[in-house]
Structure 1
Amino acid sequence: MLLAAVALVVWGSVRGRPQDLPWTPLDLGQPIGLFTGRKLTALTGDAAACRTLLTQAGVRYTALPARHERQCGYDDAVRLARGAARTTAFAPADVGIACPVAAAMVMWEWDVLAPAARRHFGARVVQVDHFGSYSCRRLYGRDAGAWSEHATADAIDIAGFRLSDGTRISVARDWTATGRSAEKAAFLREVRDGACRLFATVLSPDYNAAHRDHFHLDQAARGAAGWRACR
């Protein structure tokens, strides 16, 4: 264990990549590292630190008032704005998401969506279509059982993307696309896999039929174990 820790320090230091070390501060402007995802999830419960990171990265946002109902609600939701460091828009535009999810969305835009769109289409992602974030409900809308991460705005469901050249990409339509649309399927898988490096949970059509038309992205805090799900 000690040798592994020493090796990690040396490796991270030699490569000049602080994001590959578990104890260095998170910087949204740095490329994704080995511990970036865990650092993003660890922002849950520290809204001030999370908002400071957004500000330092040049991201425009509005902090939303706290909301509480039944066993649901949030204290750390923000609404990201287009402009400054962000060039994509949400549709619908008024979505509020927990700050750790917002921070991960920003990095996903910069480090995953943008390069994938250039590589596959030579274009930019200008809009992210979604099915919403906050919803006071239990998992799968059941009457009993665990509460969904949506119940605290710690999740968002992504339905598709619109590119600067007019291309529209839909999870429901293009996940299994072939022929002339095969590039859309490749793009969707690339951005799904990239999300797995930033979010605690990523569920896609590969998981089950309930996710056939969207990506579920969340920052579920799972205690000391900190296990992550990517399907």
Structure 2
Amino acid sequence: MRGHTAAGYGALVVCALVLGACGIREIAVPFRGDTPTATRPQSWGLPRISIPGFGKSSSMPAEEAQCRRRLKRLGVSFRELPPIYESAACGIAHPVEVSSLGRTIALEPAATLNCAMAEEAARWAQGDLAPAARMRYLTGIRTIRQMSSYSCRRINGSGQWSEHASGNALDIGSIELKNGRTIDVARPGFFALREKSFLKRVRAGACDHFATVLGPGSNADHADHFHFDLRRRSGGSRYCD
């Protein structure tokens, strides 16, 4: 009787070792995607494990994750996009597609930007643009119409790459108020005093947020829109024209 019991225990031990070996083998040799579903190996032993840092990492840098948390607190509507890489000069490692710069301030069409640019645009829209509209028109901002965000191009007439090539710039052509009025950034008529005052105020406010601010009067290329970007300059200097 004891002999039968010992033999039974031995058989169980052997079976467990065999099944364990299958499990280890399953961990050591990852499943190949071209294996038919019906013949996929089953793991009966140890659970699958992943080794941190092994292979290509898709983790987001801490500063990018923190930026996205700030966007959410600002009420910005955005979605993640896959990394953009067109050339050594054109691309965004962690792009976002932004469809609003606040809970009630739409951005149309949606803009592809890096997160830092999206955050600063939202702070400008909420901290300068919206208050200026309430002060001068007694209403809020419904929609900001953008003319360009990410774009793989050089500055006109220059060999230098545009900040648009890294999603670090945003061009704004017009602003629609909640009362239905649309204000074009293009220089208003001689007697359009309220529009002039409004545009001057929001342009000046932008100089507190962006490294470069251009618009009507800067040059022919910016006669009909505002250009905002976060270009890095030595000493942190800004260019506001």
TM-score norm. by structure 1 comes to: 0.72
Alignment of 1:52-201 (within 5 A): 52-70=69-87, 71-82=89-100, 85-92=102-109, 94-140=110-156, 142=157, 145-172=159-186, 175-179=187-191, 181-201=192-212
SS at match of 2:122: helix
Of residues 208, 211, 230, the one that matches 2:222 is 211
1:145-193 per-residue CA deviation (whole Å, 9 max, x = no partner) reads: 2110000110010001000111110012xx24232x2211111111000
| Displacement after TM superposition at 1:130 (Å) | 1.3
Q: Percent identity?
A: 39
Q: Which runs of 4+ in 1 moved over 4 A?
A: none
Contact 2:99 2:108 in 1 (8 A): no
Cα deviation, residue 128, structure 1: 0.4
Separation in structure 1 between the aligned mates of residue 82 and residue 95 of structure 2, nearest angstrom: 8
Distance 2:227 2:86 in 1: 23
The Cα shift of 1:120 comes to 0.8
Structure 1 runs not aligned, ≥5 long: 1-44
> Partner amino acid for 1:65?
P
Larger Rg: 2
What SS does the corresponding residue of 1:96 show, helix, strand or coil? strand
Partner Cα distance (1:90, 1:110) in 2: 13
SS of 1:166 mapped into structure 2: coil
| Equivalent residues of 2:153, 2:162 under 8 A apart | yes
Structure 1 position 58, deviation (Å): 4.1
* Paired residues, number: 179
Counterparts of 2:233 and 2:218, CA distance in 1: 20
Provide, for residues 62-86 of structure 1, a one-character-per-residue CA deviation record: whole Å limited to 9, x for no partner.
1221100122000132123449x52
Equivalent pair of 1:82/1:88 in contact (CA under 8 Å): yes
Distance in 1 between the 2:74 and 2:107 partners?
A: 19
Taking only aligned residues, the RMSD between alpha carbons, in angstroms, comes to 1.9
5+ unaligned residues in a row in structure 2: which ranges?
A: 1-61
- State the secondary structure of the residue aligned to 2:111: coil
Instruction: Give the Å deviation of 1:205.
Output: 1.2
Q: Look up the match of 1:16.
A: none
Q: Aligned equivalents of 1:136 and 1:109: distance in 2?
A: 25
Question: C-alpha distance in 2, partners of 1:60/1:53?
Answer: 12
Which residue is 2:42 aligned to? none
Residues 86 and 106 in structure 1, CA contact (< 8 A), matched pair in contact too:
no
Q: Which has the higher contact order (CA 8 A, sep 6+)?
A: 1
